[in-house]
A = this chain, B = another copy of it.
Amino acid sequence: MSDSKPIALDAMGGDHAPHEIVAGAVHAVRERGLPVVLVGSPRVLYEALADHDATREIPIVRAEEALAMDEGALASLRRPRSSIAIADHLVRRGDACAVVSAGSTAGIVATGRLRLKAQQGVLRPAIAVALPTLPHPTLLLDAGANAEVKPEMLVQFAHLGSAYAELAFDISKPRVGLLTIGSEPEKGTKLIKRAHELLHASAGIDFTGNVEGYDLLNGVADVIVTDGFTGNVALKTMEGAVRYAFQQLKETMSDTAAARLGAFLQRSRIRDLHRRLDAEAHGGAVLLGLNGTVVIAHGSSRAQGISAACQLAADLAAGGIVTRIGERIATTQRANKRR
């Protein structure tokens, strides 16, 4: 599924940049056969590549600045030559097929909106996160790009997520749920009630109705839409709860000798499970609705997470996610005009 154009990997963003980012690039190139260019400070990156004997395998594109992890949306205006801005520019110019960054989410979103621009007809790009349900992930969006939304945006998020689920998980008619606080019709906010009506009436969306917090991990929907405030709180709450459960489990398991033996006998499987539930494994969030594919890796990503994010970016780009979203939005707009 690899595209002939390389992935533009922001080598300066993330808690473990640049070394783990570079190691992730080396993994993606050697183990996955994906073409990658690193964007960042040439001197630093050359040295990091040399540690892997990879200076001839992976090209570097110069960016003299970088957004710090604690810099927000405004920094993207102040720093037109940041590594994420240059990575976006490579996609815009047609020199790369997708962007991957583990930098500040707010910075990636703001820079993407500025440099790549929203696709025609898309009101607001949104962040889609793949939750670790089985047999395939559930997409939650928006996970934080838009704290305040209008009902029409939630309908668009349903289209963005459906296009992603069709492509990445091979689901022919993704079931879309609307995140709210109860099945009773009088529950929820005015926003939710209006969005429910609109989703119900939308062609091209298989709307299954309201879902609740419980439903994020039980697979009742393939795509769950919400505003970026609620989505971000829910996502971080889930991560915190899983972390808490495993930490409590670890303490429980090392309490007595019998428990320690028991723990020993299954340490590796619990570690595997924890890893699967962990944020890193799913390869990152995707910023959908821009004129270009942007994957946001977890800020704490190490090499494996970066490599998985590159794979996701390559798959989405090769599958034509931008074109698919464009067609969905155009179809909706034509249908709305006919009414």
Q: Report A's interface with B, CB cutoff 8 A.
A: 70, 72-74, 106, 144, 147-148, 179-182, 184, 186-190, 192, 212-218, 226, 228-230, 232-246, 248-249, 252-253, 255, 258-259, 261-266, 269-270, 272-273, 276-277
Contacts and interface: CB of A to CB of B under 8 A. Distances in A.
A236 B212 contact: yes
A229 B188 contact: yes
Given A240-B215, A266-B263, A181 B144 contact: yes
Given A241-B238, A249-B249, A261-B265, A181 B72 contact: no
Contacts of A262: 261-266
A219 to B, nearest CB: 10
A237 B263 contact: no
Contacts of A181: 144, 147, 228-229, 232-233, 236
Contacts of A259: 265-266, 269
Contacts of A187: 72, 106, 147
A214 to B, nearest CB: 4
Nearest to A104: B184
Contact of A266 (B214, B242, B258, B272): B258
B266 A240 contact: no
A237 B186 CA distance: 21
Given A241-B241, A242-B245, A265-B262, A190 B148 contact: yes
B214 A240 contact: yes
A207 B73 CA distance: 26
A254 to B, nearest CB: 10
A204 B184 CA distance: 37
Given A213-B235, A237-B238, A249-B273, 8 more contacts: A148-B189, A179-B233, A181-B232, A181-B236, A213-B238, A234-B234, A252-B269, A262-B263
Nearest to A237: B213
B277 A248 contact: yes
In the A-B complex, the 8 residue pairs with the smallest Cβ-Cβ separation, listed nearest first, are: A213-B236, A262-B265, A213-B237, A241-B241, A214-B240, A262-B262, A181-B232, A262-B266
A73 B234 contact: no
Contact of A74 (B73, B186, B234): B186
A266 B147 CA distance: 44
A235 B237 CA distance: 8
Contacts of A269: 252-253, 255, 259
Given A237-B238, A265-B258, A106 B245 contact: no
